[in-house]
Amino acid sequence: MPLHATTSDDLLARIRRRPADRRRILFTGATLVTMDPALGVIDRGDLLVEADTITAVGRHVPAEDAVVVDATGTILTPGFVDTHRHAWQAQLRRIMPDVDDLAGYVMSTLAGHATVYRPEDMYVGTRLAALTAIDGGITTMLDFSHNSRTREHSDAAIRALLDTGIRGVHASMGPHFGAWDRQWPADLTRLKDTYFSSDDQLLTLRLAALATDEIAGPALAYGPELARTARDLGIGVSVDAVFGTSSSEAVLRWAGEGILSPEVTLIHATGLTPEAWKAMGETGTTVALAPTSDAQIGLETAIPAVDEALCAGIRPGLSIDVEVALAADMFTQMRTLHAIQRMRAVNAAYGTDREPSRITTHDVLDFATLQGARTNGLAGVTGSLTPGKKADLLVVQAEDLNNMPLNDPIGTVVLGADARNITAVLVGGEPRKWNGQVLDVDLPALRREVHASRDHVLAAAHPSPRS
């Protein structure tokens, strides 16, 4: 990307002057980390975007009438894919950074703060999370929206995804605690008809559920009835809080009931039995790991289940989970998983003649892109720089102070880069971050809305005693 802001801004203006369906953008001279097994890494490559789609990848790509972006000194990668984030909580970021266990989070956030959320708070939190995702290179985010107290709460969360331009997956679930309209899951039909009528759009819909009834009762627990609802609507299912003995028993029960499949994602998957993993592998069930959540909050074994997933033949996606206690970016998830798995592998082989079985930087980038897309049901849409897929991509500065000199592009993305190095983000061919800045956001206005929402939630959840 050109280093001079005025030149970069002129390129953006030229791109945006053209109608979206007639745009042609040619990135030239970049290191292309395609994450497509057939294409690999292309040094000094070109990538052509036409309208919302990648149409050519290689060297010396001809592109008449295209806006040419000199991407020398950069790495182009697919956008990251977040497979599970409770986006509505974003205005409560790091409010409990040292939470000790799941119960502490549940009682503070779900039994406390969630119960006083208004639709406008859902909108503000979800929009803030999505904009932050874009800033950090996440082009697809599954919003596990488990605070759907009313139809209006769901509408607000979906509008927030629409307004940011992210490739959003709205996974809808009723709340754990407090009063709500009990409109879920029946309201999924209205949501699909209203917001998800086309297969060729940025937003998709999923049903969200819990693994067991231990926390919130049987209405929210995955089983044949919810599976039937999802099947009738033609949507996928994301199941949270999958850990331990009770979830292992549930997985085996689901397998026996025929309701595990590639359209079902199990989230966390820590502390599961070998029998449960065998059933998941045999049914093609997908898995969303939450590396920092498992390790930092201490969910079940507190060890991200990457080895178990790989042994079962499952390549997992990665996710952020809850910003009330965790980092919001995919770089942290990749590095955490990379370090924990390799530490465990070496530790297990220490003092023996066994060779440690270690994952690589390519593995974790694959989990954060291509496998994340597959986990979210979007494998044919995004996750790699493959001609025919949507143009969800990042331009990463490889010669910035913290990255130069470029020696290994995948290692640089996984272990060296961060949000400040992401010059541009495109979602469906539309620039959403350019010249290092997220576009179309009134930051002072957003800041006022976020503070006002945060202050309302805290005051309503913890009212001061009357004098």
Give pLDDT tens digits for 129-177.
999 999 999 999 999 999 999 999 999 999 999 999 999 999 999 999 9
Buried b (16+ CB within 10 A) or exposed e, 400-409: beebeebeeb
* Rounded (10°) angle between helices 151-164 and 187-195: 30
The mean per-residue pLDDT over the stretch 179-189 comes to 98
Show the tokens assigned to 106: 């549940």
Domain residue ranges of the chain, discontinuous segments joined by +: 5-78+383-438, 80-375
* Among 395, 375, 385, residue whose Cα is nearest residue 144: 375
What per-residue confidence (pLDDT) applies to 200? 86
pLDDT tens per residue across span 187-224: 999 999 999 988 889 999 999 999 999 888 899 999 99
Q: Does domain 5-78+383-438 have CATH number 2.30.40.10?
A: yes
What per-residue confidence (pLDDT) applies to 398? 98
Q: What are the backbone angles phi and psi of residue 56, rounded to the nearest 5°? A: -155, 140
What per-residue confidence (pLDDT) applies to 216? 82
Average pLDDT, the chain: 96
What per-residue confidence (pLDDT) applies to 6? 54
What is the band of 39 on the pLDDT scale with cuts at 50, 70, 90?
A: very high
Predicted confidence (pLDDT) at residue 411 exceeds the cutoff of 60? yes
pLDDT tens per residue across span 305-358: 999 999 999 999 999 999 999 999 999 999 999 999 999 999 999 999 999 999
What is the band of 2 on the pLDDT scale with cuts at 50, 70, 90?
A: very low
Diameter of the chain measured on Cα atoms: 75
Domain spanning 80-375, CATH architecture: Alpha-Beta Barrel (3.20)
Domain 5-78+383-438 identical in fold to domain 80-375: no
Show the tokens assigned to 415: 């272990």
